[in-house]
Structure 1
Amino acid sequence: MFVRMALFVMLAMLRPAWAESMTIYTEHFPPYQFIQEGKVVGINAELIMLVCERAEVDCELELLPWSRSFQLTRQHKLSGLISTARYKEREQQFKWVGPLVKSTSYLYRLKHRDDISLTSLSDATRYTIGIQPNDIYEAVLLKHGFEKGKNLLNVSYKNADMQLFIKGKLDLIIGSPLTLNYQIHPLGFAFDDLVPVLEFPLDVQGNYLALNAAFPEPLRERLQWTLDSLRVAGDVDSLIQKYQVAQTAMN
């Protein structure tokens, strides 16, 4: 009995400090992550918390504005950020676990705006779009000739562009079939009120959990292995289905 207790204490002392807990920052962006009844829920929020549970890591989700979440993840070793687009310019800024769930993005117009017709993103410079500063979409738009303050309006928070779009103060909006219904429904509109006019050219590997660059590699590997296992078991598809059902109920 004494030997068993001594072994237990020794193993507890040898357990790495980084395995105790971590904070995962995110923003309001349904259905990937959002607040419901005081709790952070959503496809990727629930997926990551399931990963943490199965990997036996104590994770806390904290929902903040995107810029603040991004900054805190860069500052704190035991932290991560969802849902983060992974692309070349960001590759060395973080360590990565994923991919999580994502959907193809398009440029949309309102149904009655049949004056808008696009064959390329450069064509879209004739119209106005809103985007958060430092968003991946902003970098792409700037590369294709958009100018801040002219045809590219920076908004302070996610979905602020949708409100301006619905009021006719923006011509186009960027979104996906998976996300837009959640954004437009609270404003009294339906997804059918929107028309996709161009697939958005986005060279990314998908949505990921972006970890601080100094995050312990053995723990990152454990999280990745657990995510891969959940995908094989069908848990990822089940979460997508759960929120697609909820989306259908809105219409």
Structure 2
Amino acid sequence: MKLSSCWRKVCTCGEYSKSMGGLLVRHKLGVCQIRATLAVTWAPQRCANPIQASCGVDTKFLSGILWTMIAHLMRIARLRHGSNAKFRRALLLWAVFGFSSMAATADSIKILTEEFPPYNFTESGKITGFSTEVVEAVLKEIKVQGDFQSMPWARAYELVQNTGSTLIYSIGRSKERERLFKWVGVIAPADYYLFSLQGKNLKFDQLDQAKKYQIGTVNEDVGEQFLVSKGFIKGKNLQSSVKYSFNYEKLKLGRVDLWVIGELTAYYLARQAGDDPAKVLVKAHRISGLGSDGYYMAFGINTPDALVERFRVGLETIKKNGTFDSLKRKWL
């Protein structure tokens, strides 16, 4: 029996035994004791104290066991294959991807985003915003817990691509990104523009006309990626930052001539800085083909299809029952 199959068949807490290489791990949970080792055999027994997780096993304990397994497998590999580094790397990759699929059955996932108001931002130590509340509504609908983390976009963008069963949200969908993610659905509207300051008299009929100006972007943001795909160059006419608010400051200080960003975020950041957007910002050019269908939530490509579909159904449900429209009226 495959190890992953063993774990997926656990649905109530009990006493479990697994054996491989002689390693034994014990964990006490209420009146239950789980015995786990590295495993080809198992023996579930009834227990009166079920654990609240989709696979029936405490997820923190499960994570500890999985990494213990990986360490033990690597030790075996060193003993049997000596300095064969390629074999050990291959074994580690197999273990990580295999075990991440097992963990995806649990009712808790990691959720990544960035500071991108009013869609997602940190206030009083809590991540909030329109997109955040949409994701929270989906989690509630499908009865899944989420561990939200906000970080620079480039880091979140890379992490979700290299980690199974991790969600990223308020992500723009583009041709360049299409095959890098498993897309759940649209969670927020988006309209992208090149903004300039009042009095600069910058208006463009064609995007190429903006190439002789300095444009503020965010590293690996969909706006930056789109402009790069159209022949703009980072470090030449694209000045990359890690935060959207930095670009508004650069625009006002004259360090950049234009700012590529979604309309709602541009207006929000201007108000946060104490400015009236209508008196400060000018739409120099609407970027057609970018963000026209909105911002998405998406998973990395290594995520099980069943988990992605579970989120799709949850998103469709909150759009049908009025929850999504209610959040739109609240935030937008």
TM tier, smaller? 0.7 to 0.9
Q: 2:300 aligns with which of 190, 208, 212?
A: 212
Range 28-37 or range 204-213, more displaced: 204-213
Q: What amino acid does structure 1 have at the position aligned with 2:298?
A: A
Give the Cα separation in 2 of the matches to 1:238 and 1:86: 24
Cα-Cα RMSD: 2.4
Range 231-240 or range 28-37, more displaced: 231-240
Report the equivalent of 2:276.
190
1:144 CA displacement = 3.1
Q: What amino acid does structure 2 have at the position aligned with 1:135?
A: D
Alignment check: 8 A CA contact 2:167 2:297 kept = yes
Change (3 A) 1:12 1:38: closer
1:167 CA displacement = 1.2
1:151 CA displacement = 1.9
Establish whether residue 56 from structure 1 lines up as the match of residue 140 from structure 2. Answer: no
Q: What amino acid does structure 2 have at the position aligned with 1:133?
A: N
Change (3 A) 1:150 1:14: closer
Q: 2:313 aligns with which of 203, 225, 231?
A: 225
Structure 2 portions without partners, runs of 5+: 1-45, 57-101
SS of equivalent residue, structure 1 residue 88: coil
Range 151-160 or range 200-209, more displaced: 200-209
Change (3 A) 1:13 1:113: closer
Give the Cα separation in 1 of the matches to 2:257 and 2:204: 12
Q: 2:239 aligns with which of 136, 149, 153?
A: 153
Q: What amino acid does structure 2 have at the position aligned with 1:152?
A: L
Establish whether residue 43 from structure 1 lines up as the match of residue 130 from structure 2. Answer: yes
Range 168-177 or range 6-15, more displaced: 6-15
Q: 1:138 aligns with which of 216, 220, 224?
A: 224
Number of corresponding residues: 239
Give the Cα separation in 2 of the matches to 1:152 and 1:97: 30
Determine what percentage of the aligned residue pairs are the same residue: 31
Report the equivalent of 1:247.
none
1:123-174, CA deviations, whole angstroms, 9 ceiling, x for partnerless residues?
1112210112222222322233323323211113232111100112211112
SS of equivalent residue, structure 2 residue 282: strand
Alignment check: 8 A CA contact 1:86 1:208 kept = yes
Alignment check: 8 A CA contact 2:185 2:312 kept = yes
Give the Cα separation in 1 of the matches to 2:239 and 2:330: 34
Q: What amino acid does structure 2 have at the position aligned with 1:134?
A: E
Establish whether residue 163 from structure 1 lines up as the match of residue 249 from structure 2. Answer: yes
Counterparts of 1:73-88 in structure 2 under 5 Å?
73-88=160-175
SS of equivalent residue, structure 1 residue 159: helix
Q: 1:117 aligns with which of 193, 203, 206?
A: 203
1:106 CA displacement = 1.3
Report the equivalent of 2:184.
97
Report the equivalent of 2:324.
236
Give the Cα separation in 1 of the matches to 2:264 and 2:300: 28
Alignment check: 8 A CA contact 2:223 2:261 kept = no
1:59-100, CA deviations, whole angstroms, 9 ceiling, x for partnerless residues?
111001111111221232221111111222222222121111
Alignment check: 8 A CA contact 1:19 1:219 kept = no
Change (3 A) 1:142 1:91: closer
1:19 CA displacement = 3.0
Q: What amino acid does structure 1 have at the position aligned with 2:190?
A: S
Change (3 A) 1:11 1:134: closer
Give the Cα separation in 2 of the matches to 1:54 and 1:10: 21
TM-score (norm 1): 0.86
Alignment check: 8 A CA contact 1:21 1:78 kept = no
1:194-227, CA deviations, whole angstroms, 9 ceiling, x for partnerless residues?
1112111334553211212222222221211111
Structure with greater Cα Rg: 2
Change (3 A) 1:96 1:162: same
Give the Cα separation in 2 of the matches to 1:239 and 1:185: 21
Change (3 A) 1:74 1:129: same
Q: What amino acid does structure 2 have at the position aligned with 1:51?
A: V
Structure 1 portions without partners, runs of 5+: 245-251
Q: 1:27 aligns with which of 114, 136, 142?
A: 114
Give the Cα separation in 1 of the matches to 2:309 and 2:54: 22
Establish whether residue 201 from structure 1 lines up as the match of residue 288 from structure 2. Answer: yes
Give the Cα separation in 2 of the matches to 1:56 and 1:169: 47
TM-score (norm 2): 0.66
1:12 CA displacement = 7.2
Change (3 A) 1:14 1:59: closer
